[in-house]
């Protein structure tokens, strides 16, 4: 192929690559990690960019991991008064996913989560204490299998920015929540299986648009 002809074939590819590069530069959010950069207001969870996992030691052999697929959460806060932030969340316990349908059905049964009787787990904030510029201990009440207990979430602010792809201000967090499963009545094989469970949450919240 002649060089001139080859150049004609390459021009659209070069133009497309340039457009993609330009689009990426325009659409990429300018994420700020400082808490003061988070716009005050009300936020709702973006379920497409969130996950809830639980981890439990399995007889010393491994860490067993499960996840819940359906959940909702809301956040209200102002970086000028972070201690007043409020978080609420609801988890659909029937949405358990462990890539093993038979065992998932067993775990949702009365000996474990009893999801037929208690189809939801809920959390609501009682208080918040900053532990660093981007981290906080969030005290609250967790209701699981009909039992309500005080817990503390360890939350880390990952960053915030205006997201052009979603047309909203976005703020993202990573959260860990250690619980004792037996305290919530999920006590089958306690003493054989570990009681300590770690819940890990990744969450992106979208700022609610004003009416």
Question: What pLDDT is stored for residue 36 in this prediction?
Answer: 83
Q: 77, 50, 74, 54: which is closest to 176 by C-alpha?
A: 54
- In tens, the pLDDT along 118-150 reads 999 999 999 999 999 999 999 999 999 999 999
Confidence of residue 210 (pLDDT cuts 50, 70, 90): low
pTM: 0.85
Q: Is the pLDDT of residue 66 over 90?
A: yes
pLDDT at site 28: 86
Q: What is the pLDDT of residue 32?
A: 86
Length of the chain, please? Answer: 211
Mean pLDDT across the chain: 90
Residue-wise pLDDT for 80-106, tens only, equals: 999 999 999 999 999 999 989 999 999
User: In this structure, what token pair is assigned to residue 182?
Assistant: 């037996």
Q: What is the pLDDT of residue 31?
A: 87
Among left, alpha and beta (phi > 0; psi -120 to 50; other), residue 167 is left
What pLDDT is recorded for position 209?
Answer: 80
Task: Tell me the percentage of the chain whose pLDDT exceeds 70.
Answer: 87
- Which pLDDT does position 35 carry in this prediction? 85
Task: For residue range 22-59, list pLDDT tens digits in order.
Answer: 567 667 888 888 888 899 999 999 999 999 999 999 99
Say if residue 171's pLDDT is above 60: yes
17 pLDDT above the threshold of 90? no
Q: How does residue 15 score in pLDDT terms, banded at 50, 70 and 90?
A: low
C-alpha closest to that of 184 among 197, 171, 201, 174? 197
């Amino acid at each position: 192929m002649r060089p001139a002809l080859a150049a004609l074939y390459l021009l659209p590819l070069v133009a497309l690559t340039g457009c993609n590069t330009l689009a990426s530069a325009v659409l990429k959010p300018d994420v700020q990690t400082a808490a003061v950069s988070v716009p005050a207001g009300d936020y709702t969870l973006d379920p497409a960019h969130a996950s809830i996992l639980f981890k439990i030691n399995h007889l010393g052999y491994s860490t067993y991991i499960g996840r819940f697929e359906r959940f909702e959460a809301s956040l209200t806060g102002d970086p000028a008064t972070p201690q007043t932030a409020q978080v609420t969340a609801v988890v659909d316990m029937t949405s358990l996913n462990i890539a093993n349908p038979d065992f998932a059905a067993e775990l949702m049964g009365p000996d474990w989560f009893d999801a037929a009787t208690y189809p939801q787990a809920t959390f609501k904030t009682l208080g918040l204490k900053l532990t660093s510029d981007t981290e906080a201990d969030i005290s609250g009440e967790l209701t699981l299998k009909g039992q309500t207990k005080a817990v503390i979430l360890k939350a880390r602010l990952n960053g915030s920015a205006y997201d052009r792809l979603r047309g909203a201000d976005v703020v993202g967090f990573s959260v860990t929540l250690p619980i004792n499963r037996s305290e919530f009545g999920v006590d089958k094989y306690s003493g054989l299986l570990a009681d300590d469970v770690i819940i890990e949450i990744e969450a992106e919240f979208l700022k609610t648009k004003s009416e």
